[in-house]
Chain A
């Protein structure tokens, strides 16, 4: 069975251990978590967890059901192929020769990214967007020397009026 990436969104009660319980469901079923973002919601009693995970789609159905069984998980939804806004942020630290700087800045402008730190021979680029865009930016930066690279992982929000 083909492994595919899935974007999940969970609403969870802010109780100790909830993250471990969730992680255990994935590991027991052999699913790899690519990224995981926990953030507060408007209600201080709950948090939103956005997970990107990779594996067999049939197993994913089971994982979602097992997640929903957890007392502290209010709901778990797979948003793959749904109308959602998915964003992540990446920081890319690039080292370059002085004569390459203009080319990099052009790239930054093209991707509507920002430079948030700069020295004579290095800069940190901040880029937000969907996964493909960030992957493309990273690929182009590889022409220079990428010293370090970090991504936040995807946050997911349903389009339209409804709550995610």
Chain B
């Protein structure tokens, strides 16, 4: 079929429809006008953000929530550059995005025309792939390929740069279904020999530990992870992004491992004789000092990305494939292990070192998060920003379901949490509320999206956990830099309740622990759009347990230290 009547912009929209896109997030500008014009004639929802970074994080939140591709549409120049933080965030966490950036006309490329920038050149390191379309007839192919690449294999952001004359020009190319991408292969099942070898190692293990990562969640492998854990009788720990893949309330669950992970998960890492990563990439937040991480244990690694083999640590067996399919291969090869003693030990640790927080003093972020968890019975979509409250959410909101907890993990992007909540709310098909935990620092980076939440009356509960500090940096300065606080005081914060009200969003305030129960109940019961809950929290609370960056897991700190600690050697 040919489309003589359609312009480039109409073709792009038609391709979006064919890919099943019903919602896009965007912000217009001169070069993007043809796109925004074409959208008017479709039933695709265009959600207008207040900043392009917001639109990108919304698309990201939408993608994480639904598992579908998130789409952002912005203009050229600053419109494009404002998306970069969002693109990088998605790249680090393997989130499928399509970023449509408009561009100046093709004759103007490279001439410093108004709002021209080399968008593709500037984003090469942070995209899975990108296109600069210079011929209108390439559009159908590019759109097809982009969606395919974004959501298959290890997902990631794909950027399409669209010059205005390409959007305006007529396109006669047919829509296509077939693609010719000889350089792109999608791993499915792993090499049978490798899986057999892994099974042999597992059979010999007395103290196995499974590690569920984001890859397991993306692959939809939750059911298989559970089946394997129960079949072997092996405990399961999760990375930050893997939380929810294996239910937190399952007796074999150890919660999150790593820098601010549970004591029992980290003890299990220290003591296990075999660790199997299912779709995690041995991030430095979980390994601590690499030379000492599981150095005497057998290390098995399942990953869909062949380049993850040996990138950080050398596994005994690497199984390249889709987590779900590889577990399908592995399951019939293994049987129940003799892990009675191991499980007993792990359970003892769980009892002896539970996650706790001080009950005295002012309002604690942990208390707010845990109360929301209890009141929703864990049935809420949760998006989080970055910092102390993020770690406490990982600790005190025990996710039982995949795609329930949305974090900027790899990038640690402050400003992610709130727009991601908006995106997640648009994608949410459950009757669960969307709860956003955000610090006073991160919230102020993207709070202009309050308008977006307000106009669409999104059922988002915005918990601003305000300690008037950039808490995580302050914690480091407290523990490692002689309490020399520098650049962390958030003096000048607005009155967040009044701020919300000025957008037409009701605000509540919690100042005392004693009020938390009642106010959170009120917030959760509110059903006429977004609500902001300003939680004035204890100013100088620290997150424990903690493994200083670059230190071995054995140097875990479980309570406030009495003396000044050595400066960490690891990155950030």
List residues of chain A with CB under 8 Å of any chain B CB.
12-13, 16-17, 20-21, 24, 28, 61-62, 65-66, 68-75
Contact = CB atoms under 8 A, between A and B. Distances in A.
B307 A66 contact: yes
A17 B132 contact: yes
A30 B132 CA distance: 28
Given A12-B183, A65-B306, 5 more contacts: A16-B132, A69-B305, A71-B129, A74-B182, A74-B183
Contacts of B5: none
B439 to A, nearest CB: 31
A72 B181 CA distance: 8
Contact of A73 (B134, B149, B183, B306): B183
B124 interface: yes
B549 to A, nearest CB: 22
A24 to B, nearest CB: 6
Contact of A24 (B120, B125, B128, B310): B125
A30 to B, nearest CB: 14
Contacts of B121: 17, 20
Nearest to B130: A17
B311 A62 contact: yes
B183 A72 contact: yes
A21 B183 contact: no
B184 A71 contact: yes
28 contacts: A12-B183, A13-B182, A16-B120, A16-B132, A17-B120, A17-B121, A17-B124, A17-B130, A17-B132, A20-B124, A21-B124, A24-B124, A28-B125, A61-B310, A62-B310, A62-B311, A65-B306, A65-B309, A66-B307, A68-B183, A68-B307, A69-B306, A69-B307, A70-B183, A71-B129, A71-B183, A72-B183, A75-B183
Contacts, number: 44
A62 B181 CA distance: 22
Nearest to B145: A71
Contacts of A69: 305-307
Interface residues of B, number: 20
Contacts of A74: 182-183
Contacts of B125: 24, 28
A16 B142 CA distance: 13
Given A17-B121, A21-B124, A28-B125, A71 B306 contact: no
Contact of B306 (A13, A20, A68): A68
Contacts of B307: 62, 65-66, 68-69
A24 B122 CA distance: 11
Contacts of B132: 16-17
A70 B183 CA distance: 7
Nearest to B309: A65
Given A17-B121, A20-B121, A71 B181 contact: yes
A66 B305 CA distance: 10
Contacts of A16: 120, 132, 134
A25 B305 CA distance: 16
A12 B184 CA distance: 11
Nearest to A67: B307
A15 to B, nearest CB: 8
A11 to B, nearest CB: 8
Nearest to A58: B310
A19 B180 CA distance: 20
Contacts of B305: 69
Contacts of B149: 71
A22 to B, nearest CB: 10
Nearest to B308: A65
Nearest to B121: A20
Which among B130, B134, B183, B305 has the highest number of chain A CB atoms within 10 Å? B183
Contacts of A17: 120-121, 124, 130, 132
**Most chain B C-beta atoms within 10 Å of own C-beta, residue among A62, A69, A70:** A69
